[in-house]
Structure 1
């Protein structure tokens, strides 16, 4: 609930990227964390393992949401089953957009992308196509992919207290899947 309110209110004096990551942690992250914790509790896990699962769930939830945001920009509709750039068209500030807006890059493409994104929701079809093309080639998209990979690796590290076996391997495989799905 707090995450939804924070998203509605906006970052105010907070760094927009930090605010965005916090909102995702409080929304998607907390949902996945709760689900994984309950799985551990109902499966008879120790308190230490339940705590590790909760940390894993929050972190992998953030990684998943970030990768979903990247798919909105980087994939075509045949691959993702979604219309590309929906968040961009609706003015939803996702991580690649926030990285592009905070970039100090002065090349023509970055400057043009910043100009388009700064104007708010990109509803004009020609501008939308241009912004998507620029975002797909931008350092911001690469940086966002690296952030997804970082969260996936952090989630994997949180599994360290769990015993080796098929359940742990399945959770580790999810880390790999999420890190790789946006490449």
Structure 2
């Protein structure tokens, strides 16, 4: 029995390392793609060592994550490979942008699902498998991970606009300055109200001018798009929370509920 517990503990630790390595690798690659200088308040890898080194280190981390998973069997390797596939598809979608006539918001939500939802969904699935959960619970936790992962990323979109300090680890309005589409800006861009003409003009391009950047932040913070974005994230967190009702009552379920509540409280 002790050997079984030690083996299960070793597997959980390996999966934890896999998740952290995979996540870090995606951040290294993201920063190269976005030409980001800062990651959570610290210099990004690409700004310190250049794009080539950052890409190679990201690839190395992916390889290490795959090596860890290989000890868990062919099914685990298959799940990991399919997760990588979704991550890359999401990055390709984001790089190319929406096709002519495609809804920009729907395109963006699909990107978030592939790049963030897939990661958390796989982490949840691995946890369920290692715990010996039933196929039904594995499916429920996978969907939970997909929803809460996407909700967490979309909450970041709102914080990027709403935060007035660098407490979040990001300079407020970073995405706005770089012209990166996010949930609040994409919702705002659907407006046809004449009074939004100035905001729509500002959102149509990167805002390198400090005065225009500050003006756009001010206008966007009081725009109805912010409340609509918050409602969308809250709905996703609520949907994730509802899935937890299918799980047995346990400390693990309570912890996942706290995660749902945390996503909502991050919105301010």
Tell me the TM-score range normalised by the shorter chain.
Answer: over 0.9
**Cα deviation digits, residues 53-86 of structure 1 (max 9, x gap):** 0000000011000001111110122431320011
Match of 1:114 among 169, 176, 200: 200
Unaligned runs of 5+ in 1: none
Match of 2:177 in 1: 89
Match of 2:97 in 1: 10
Match of 2:167 in 1: 79
Distance 1:8 1:158 in 2: 33
Match of 1:165 in 2: 250
TM-score for both structures, normalised by structure 2: 0.65
Map of 1:25-64 to 2, 5 A cutoff?
25-64=113-152
1:152 aligns with 2:254: no
CA shift for structure 1 position 91? 1.1
CA shift for structure 1 position 148? 0.6
Match of 1:176 in 2: 261
Alignment size in residue pairs:
180
1:100 aligns with 2:185: no
The answer to whether the 8 A contact 1:74-1:136 is kept is yes
Match of 1:21 in 2: 109
**Cα deviation digits, residues 110-148 of structure 1 (max 9, x gap):** 221111112x11111000000011111110111101111
Match of 2:210 in 1: 125
Distance 1:69 1:22 in 2: 15
The answer to whether the 8 A contact 1:99-1:144 is kept is yes
TM-score for both structures, normalised by structure 1: 0.94
The answer to whether the 8 A contact 2:148-2:237 is kept is yes
Distance 1:95 1:105 in 2: 19
CA shift for structure 1 position 160? 2.5
Distance 1:148 1:164 in 2: 25
CA shift for structure 1 position 159? 1.9
1:114 is paired with a residue whose SS is helix
The answer to whether the 8 A contact 1:48-1:161 is kept is no
CA shift for structure 1 position 31? 0.5
